[in-house]
Amino acid sequence: MLGAHPAAFFVVLIFVALWLVFDWKNFSWASIATVTTLFMTLLIQRAEHRDTQAIHAKIDELLRANSDARSELTRLDEQEPELIERHRAHARAQDHS
């Protein structure tokens, strides 16, 4: 996820610097709000990415530790969301049987 990469913050800083150099007369309070929104969006994306990666690491470890777990589940997060939903629906149906 590119928005979660630390370099994304530098891209925004370069954008602001270029904005100030080429169009400083139009840099107003609305512009400050825009830049703040960009930074907050990047911070939120980074936090979500960190949380998601931590959850995946924990689940991967649980799957590796449990000998009854099916090995194909370790790669499930690489599938398309629709396929994952189908897998979950199938697993729920088996649990209710």
pLDDT tens digits along 34-73: 999 999 999 999 899 888 888 888 887 887 788 777 777 7
Whether residues 97 and 52 share a domain: the answer is: no
Burial class (CB in 10 A: 0-12, 13-18, 19+), 59: middle
Segments forming the whole domain that contains residue 74: 67-97
pLDDT at 70: 73
Question: Cα separation of 4 and 54, whole Å?
Answer: 14
Whether residues 54 and 71 share a domain: the answer is: no
Count of the separate structural domains present in the chain: 2
pLDDT at 37: 93
- Give percent of the chain with pLDDT exceeding 70: 93
pLDDT at 4: 67
- Answer for the pair 8, 2: CB distance below 8 angstroms, yes or no: yes
Q: What is the mean pLDDT of the chain?
A: 83
Whether residues 36 and 74 share a domain: the answer is: no
Give this prediction's pTM. Answer: 0.62
Whether residues 71 and 33 share a domain: the answer is: no
Whether residues 40 and 83 share a domain: the answer is: no
Whether residues 10 and 39 share a domain: the answer is: yes
Residue 25 DSSP symbol: G
pLDDT at 36: 93
pLDDT at 3: 64
Whether residues 52 and 73 share a domain: the answer is: no
Whether residues 18 and 46 share a domain: the answer is: yes
pLDDT at 1: 59
Dihedral, CA atoms, 71, 76, 77, 81, nearest 10 degrees?
-170
